[in-house]
Amino acid sequence: MIVKKSLSEQIYESLRQDIINQKIKFGEKLVNQNLRERYGVSSTPVRDAINRLHQDGLLEDISNVGARVITFDYKMAVEINEIVWMLSTQAVKLSAKKGHAREVIPALAKCLELQQRHIDSPAYLDDDAQFHLTFFDFCDNPRYRELYLQHHTLWSILVKYYYCDKESTREHAISQHRMILEAYAAGDIPLAQNHLENHYQEALRPLRKVLGE
């Protein structure tokens, strides 16, 4: 079945990727008229896309004229990291508590396999994101999963900074993921949570250099 994306969906995804990849810089203004001309559309799909980006936390100062991309600084990175870290460690516990370990383990292993295969490819970041999302997929709690996804776009920016497309950094992340998987597969959920927490804490170190404190 082919699902056609609406104009607003296409504009949203285009602008979202431009912000994540910093083709549109932090603090830059988005002017509705310019976006209408860029995409050759009316004001409605542009407005809808702007509203979605605002819900993602990527835009601020929305008006009838346009909006401004957020200023992504170290303080914001720490706050986002804390949120996804706390949500993720509890997702590890929930997925096991609800009896889905046998499904989670091979799903995580598949993510690791793909990460290694795509280590020098842009697809690596999708594989990394899916590793973390797997725990939420098996929580049997769509509201909890949605709460995580609400912060996922901002977290994607953090990850983009963290990995910096360096293979050595990615190898280290894969090693950490493997430790999480091994602890989870052994039934040691507290250890898996501890490894996951350390994984998130280490992500902050290079950000101090990139973003400043």
Q: Give residue-wise pLDDT tens across range 163-186.
A: 655 667 889 999 999 999 999 999
Rounded to whole angstroms, the Cα distance separating 96 from 32 reads 47
What pLDDT shows up at residue 204? Answer: 82
Q: Do residues 78 and 65 share a domain?
A: no
Please compute the mean of the pLDDT values over residues 119-129 and round it to a whole number.
90
| pLDDT cut 70: percent of the chain above it | 94
Rg (CA), the chain: 19
Q: Which of 1-10, 69-78, 84-93 has the highest mean pLDDT?
A: 84-93
Q: Do residues 114 and 21 share a domain?
A: no
What pLDDT shows up at residue 145? Answer: 95
Q: Do residues 107 and 58 share a domain?
A: no
Domain count for the chain, please give it.
2
30 phi, psi to nearest 5 deg: -110, 120
Q: pLDDT confidence of 135, banded at 50, 70, 90?
A: very high
| pLDDT cut 90: percent of the chain above it | 62
Please compute the mean of the pLDDT values over residues 40-68 and round it to a whole number.
91
Q: pLDDT confidence of 211, banded at 50, 70, 90?
A: confident
Q: Over the stretch 57-87, which tens digit does the pLDDT of each residue have?
A: 899 988 889 999 998 888 888 899 999 999 9
Q: Do residues 117 and 52 share a domain?
A: no
In a domain, 201, yes or no: yes
Strands laid side by side in the 29-31 sheet: 29-31, 66-69, 59-60
| 3 pLDDT more than 50 | no
Exposed / middle / buried, residue 143 (Cβ in 10 Å: 0-12, 13-18, 19+): exposed
Task: Check which CATH number belongs to the domain holding 131 and give it.
Answer: 1.20.120.530
What pLDDT shows up at residue 38? Answer: 94
In a domain, 1, yes or no: no
Q: Do residues 81 and 63 share a domain?
A: no
Q: Do residues 34 and 130 share a domain?
A: no
Mean pLDDT of the chain: 90
What pLDDT shows up at residue 53? Answer: 92
Full residue range of the structural domain in which residue 93 is found: 74-211
Task: Check which CATH number belongs to the domain holding 46 and give it.
Answer: 1.10.10.10
Provide the whole-model pTM: 0.82
Q: Do residues 13 and 110 share a domain?
A: no
| 187 pLDDT more than 90 | yes
Q: Do residues 50 and 97 share a domain?
A: no
What pLDDT shows up at residue 168? Answer: 77
DSSP state, residue 73: -
Q: Do residues 55 and 125 share a domain?
A: no
Instruction: Please check whether residue 12 is in contact with residue 48, taking contact to mean a CB–CB distance below 8 angstroms.
Output: yes
In a domain, 2, yes or no: no
